[in-house]
Amino acid sequence: MSQVVGKRALVTAAADGIGRVVAETLLDEGAQVHICDIDSAGLATFAAGRPGLGTTVADVSREDDVDRLFNEATAHLGGLDILVNNAGIAGPAGPIETLELEAWQRTLAVNLDGTFLCCRRAVPLLKEAGGGVIVNMSSTAGIFGYPRRSPYASAKWAIIGLTKTLAMELGPSGIRVNAICPGAVSGDRIDRVIEATAASRGVSPEVVRDSYLRQTSLRTFVDAEDIAATVVFLCSAAGARISGQAIAVDGHTEGLGEG
């Protein structure tokens, strides 16, 4: 029997991409799941095929949206055992002198402020449950410098700092906090990032894609299923002694250059 059967989980930005695969995997493993996204149509499509899945349209960078999300999630789940902070945006690509403050602030708002706001609301619920798990989605960009992607890298580094701090703060309450650092994950999102980076450098997307592959020892992108499997492991009894870690699931990134 799966070790997350009956656990109550909230996954942010789960109408598509990594978040959807994480939510699907938790459901398949027997967890009760509530998700949010800004994409109302995507939420409706997902929920139509998954009876029992709870959904909320919410922008996690907005405090009032997060409050509404947690009110609806707790009403649906009856409490909380697992929070997966998956919401994030790629932000602008380009040299720092070309970036607009508004784009910088929006990148930090979704990636970092959203993680903070959700953690702040989740912690009392996890304490009430007698403990639980928070998984924050960082990136290999939170481990290495990332030329031409300074807003994104700054937010993802900050998420690791928040993760390690909360692990210390919440450990005595039986709450484990870890960060997952995906590398380049196959799918539409990395395709868009590659196109934006290529445009900022004045090269073809194929050149950028090849540089991404050459940055990993395994010369491969990872799949969303790889990330979801790590989430389930961290939320299970098998991960009961793991906290405060930034775990790369990336084919071993050797460094982020001008990709």
Q: Cite the active site residues.
A: 152
Strand arrangement of the beta sheet that strand 132-137 belongs to: 54-57, 32-37, 8-11, 82-85, 132-137, 175-182, 246-249
Q: Which two tokens stand for residue 12?
A: 């942010």
The angle, 0 to 180 degrees and rounded to 10, between the axes of the packed helices 188-201 and 205-214 is: 110
Can you tell me which residue has the tokens 């304490």? 127
CB atoms within 10 A of CB 64: 9
Cα–Cα nearest to 194, from 151, 228, 185: 185
Q: SS3 for 54?
A: strand
Query: In terms of Cα–Cα distance, which of 165, 164, 3 is closest to 82?
Result: 3
What is the DSSP code string of 35-76?
EEES-HHHHHHHHHTSTT-EEEE--TTSHHHHHHHHHHHHHH
Q: Are 11 and 136 in contact (CB under 8 A)?
A: no
